[in-house]
Amino acid sequence: MSFRNRSIVVATILLLGLITYAAAKYYAPSLVLYVVEQTLIQKAPEGSNPALLRERLHSLLAEITDENEKMARLLRISEQLEKVQILKPEDLDNLLAVEKH
């Protein structure tokens, strides 16, 4: 294989890696939101309305303008959800409450 062909193969592999990295970086927040949303619905108290839970979560996140802060809030919610099997209604309210700074 000539130097030119090897260079093309290396450039192609690097380009594919770059594209994969960019796609992962772009879709990571959406994936985290989806996982937190589904976990919240699964661990919600019996009789909770999934549509209402989604709406509350999305309205909470809509109030946060900074993307890094939004991701940090999702990760904090995720950490709390990991600790419980089923949420109590007051725990659910605490998770979806607006934080005061």
SS3 (DSSP) at 66: coil
pLDDT tens by residue, 12-22: 999 999 999 99
Mean pLDDT rounded to a whole number for the chain = 93
How sure is the predictor about 98, in pLDDT bands with cuts at 50, 70 and 90? confident
- Find all residues with CB under 8 Å of 48, minimum gap 6, and list them: 41, 92
Which pLDDT does position 1 carry in this prediction? 79
Q: What is the pLDDT confidence band of residue 88, given thresholds at 50, 70 and 90?
A: very high
pLDDT of 82 reads 94
d(CA 86, CA 46): 9
The span from the CA of 61 to the CA of 76, in Å, is 13
Give the C-alpha separation, 22 to 51, whole Å. Answer: 31
Residue whose structure tokens are 């108290």: 45
DSSP, collapsed to helix, strand or coil, labels residue 64 as coil
**30: confidence class by pLDDT, cuts 50, 70, 90:** very high
Task: Provide the whole-model pTM.
Answer: 0.78
71-76 own/partner pairs: CB under 8 Å, 24+ apart? 71/29, 71/32, 73/99, 74/29, 74/32, 74/33, 74/36, 75/32
